[in-house]
Amino acid sequence: MNEDSPIPDPPSFSDDDLRRCKETGDYKPILFEWYKFVGAMAFVVCNIQKDSHAFRDVPAQQYHVLVGLINRCARLMLSNVALSHEGKFGETTAIIDRCIFESAIKVIWLCTNNTREEFVRYFADGLKTEIELKCHIQVNIQSNGGAPLPIEERMLKSIQRHIDAAELTEAEITTSPKLRDLASMINNLGLDRLLYVVAQKIGSHHIHGTWPSLLFHYLEESDDGAITRFCPRGHDCKTHINQYMFVPLIVLHAMAEYARFALDEDCAKAFITTFESTDKEIMKVYSQAGDTAS
């Protein structure tokens, strides 16, 4: 890392590394290093303190949401690094990818539509469920004579901590409009609908275990004559090369929007220049992969 910059040094590759990838047609080792680099940058970005001289006057609650979401992206990318460093666990990294994508889109949305209402919607999206649970617990307490069980006391305290941390009243939470869905966010951001279909809807297969997901990761066709039969698939699902390209690009986009929103012009420009050059390097390697990326 450059002592004058918080940005980590990008990965470097020897001629032998590049020749090996070209000979084998497997560029995943290089894209894997770029993936790790983007994850490392996400950790740096989310740890820029609000009292830094480079920080704009961002409301504390907005800062908390955004750094939490970027840290979520970073932590989940780190999980994927640990899972896929030997090329395995493709079924699990696909699930995590879907979570990273949703968090990154929310960062982009909130940074480009930075009104209090949008952030209140974000808080309320999770807290409405907490309030519903609180009501059920309180009904149970009353039906049991008004004396809460220890577990009920702990749950009520936890729920109240979540509400207090958002600095919202229960009335503000319950009356808040619903958080916009990902399709609406993507459409209003002017992004391609294909992004939603591929990353969100198809990505949801891996979350929910739909039939396409079972066929892709969990079942394999058995050789049983004319009758098509499937049996459980073994532990051989590889992380696809597309995952090492797509996830870093969407996280880079999210970090760039956060930099524009939260940092002063000079600091934001330094980060965004790095994000853009990283994007180009990833796409250059991915384009060289050619048919292996299919």
pLDDT digits (tens, 9 = 90+) for 154-199: 999 999 999 999 999 999 999 999 999 999 999 999 988 888 888 8
Q: Is 2 a member of any domain?
A: no
Query: Do residues 88 and 235 make contact, with C-beta atoms less than 8 angstroms apart?
Result: yes
Task: Determine how many CB atoms are found less than 10 A away from the CB of residue 195.
Answer: 16
Answer whether residue 62 is part of any domain.
Answer: yes
pLDDT at 68: 98
Helix (H) or strand (E) holding 221: strand 219-222
In this structure, the chain runs to a length of 294
Q: Is the pLDDT of residue 269 over 50?
A: yes
Residue 193 lies in a domain: yes
More confidently predicted of 216 and 194? 216
Residue 3 lies in a domain: no
Mean pLDDT of the chain: 92
Classify 148 as helix, strand or coil: coil
pTM: 0.92
Dihedral of CA 12/17/22/28: which sign? negative
- Please count the structural domains in the chain: 1
Do the Cβ atoms of 261 and 111 come closer than 8 Å? yes
227, part of any domain: yes
Interatomic CA distance for residues 91 and 77, integer angstroms:
15
Q: What integer pLDDT is reported at residue 1 of this predicted model? A: 47
- Give the pLDDT confidence of 95-123 residue by residue, as tens digits: 999 999 999 999 999 999 989 999 999 99
* Structural domain containing residue 272: 15-293
Residue of 144 and 74 predicted with greater confidence: 74
Distinct helix (H) and strand (E) counts, the chain: 13, 2
Residue 238 resides in a domain: yes
